[in-house]
């Protein structure tokens, strides 16, 4: 046998992470909410793109513009059960997926996947604990003229102790150590307001 012509792949934790995504229904749920019945279907399904981003985040995070480098020497067809080539992997494709996800309602989709995780592993929910943290933002973030941003990047109480910088806030709800709810908040939202809103859901 000529071993010089064999393809070699380095999968690390990728197969395991992709398997968990499939078991929790991440791929099928994303496809259900994001794929339109009209028009041409995407070359790579939105569910598969979500799975690829999760694998990258959990294994060895690379920014979107060099995601193709991360997936070099990986057997993509086996991991994602889809015929994917490296030249299809680019930041524009992932950006379009994120736009679709935002339009479909990421909080709703995430909560459904979390519910599937509890059902799959037989976990019970006794109570949900909510908490927030702040993330300092640098530079200018402008929306298109006439459009209102999804969140307001502004000054507020900084948990990073950077009152001089604009920020956003990130909030999660956990049950038994599992995240069941997640939301990005405007930088000036306080915990009292956020918790009150959750109690009135």
Q: Based on the domain organization, do 22 and 107 belong to the same domain?
A: yes
- Among 87, 116, 145, the domain boundary falls at 116
Q: Based on the domain organization, do 111 and 130 belong to the same domain?
A: no
Q: Based on the domain organization, do 84 and 154 belong to the same domain?
A: no
Q: Which pLDDT value is given to residue 177?
A: 85
Q: Based on the domain organization, do 7 and 52 belong to the same domain?
A: yes
Mean residue pLDDT across the chain: 87
Q: Based on the domain organization, do 132 and 112 belong to the same domain?
A: no
Distance CA 11, CA 55 (A): 11
pLDDT tens sequence across 45-100? 999 999 999 999 998 888 999 999 999 988 899 999 999 999 999 999 999 999 99
pLDDT tens sequence across 94-133? 999 999 999 999 999 999 999 999 999 998 888 889 999 9
SS3 195: helix
- Among 85, 116, 147, the domain boundary falls at 116
138: confidence class by pLDDT, cuts 50, 70, 90: confident
DSSP H helical ranges for 8-45: 14-23, 26-34
The domain in which residue 138 lies consists of 124-199
Q: Based on the domain organization, do 143 and 62 belong to the same domain?
A: no
Q: Which pLDDT value is given to residue 10?
A: 60
Q: Residues 181-193: what's their mean pLDDT?
A: 89
Q: Based on the domain organization, do 14 and 109 belong to the same domain?
A: yes
Distance CA 29, CA 43 (A): 18
Q: Based on the domain organization, do 35 and 87 belong to the same domain?
A: yes
Distance CA 148, CA 138 (A): 19
- Give the number of domains in the chain: 2
- Among 77, 97, 116, the domain boundary falls at 116
* Alpha carbon separation from 124 to 51, 80, 182 (Å, rounded): 26, 30, 19
Q: Among residues of the chain, what percentage have pLDDT more than 70?
A: 89
């Amino acid at each position: 046998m000529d071993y010089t012509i064999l393809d070699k792949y380095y999968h690390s934790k990728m197969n395991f992470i992709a398997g968990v995504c499939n078991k929790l229904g991440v791929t099928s749920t994303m496809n259900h909410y994001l794929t339109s019945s009209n028009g041409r279907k995407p070359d790579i399904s939105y569910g598969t793109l979500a799975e690829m981003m999760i694998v990258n985040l959990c294994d060895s995070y690379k920014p979107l513009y060099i995601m193709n480098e991360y997936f070099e020497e990986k057997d993509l067809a086996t991991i994602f059960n889809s015929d994917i080539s490296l030249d299809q992997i680019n930041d524009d494709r992932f950006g379009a997926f994120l736009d679709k996800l935002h339009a479909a309602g990421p909080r709703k989709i995430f909560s459904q996947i979390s519910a599937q995780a509890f059902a799959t592993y037989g976990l019970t929910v006794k109570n949900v604990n909510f908490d927030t943290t702040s993330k300092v933002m640098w530079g200018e973030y402008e929306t298109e003229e006439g459009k209102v941003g999804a969140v307001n990047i502004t000054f507020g109480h900084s948990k990073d102790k950077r009152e001089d910088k604009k920020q956003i806030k990130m909030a999660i709800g956990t049950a038994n150590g599992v995240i069941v709810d997640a939301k990005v908040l405007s930088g000036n939202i306080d915990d009292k307001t956020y918790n009150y809103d959750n109690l009135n859901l």
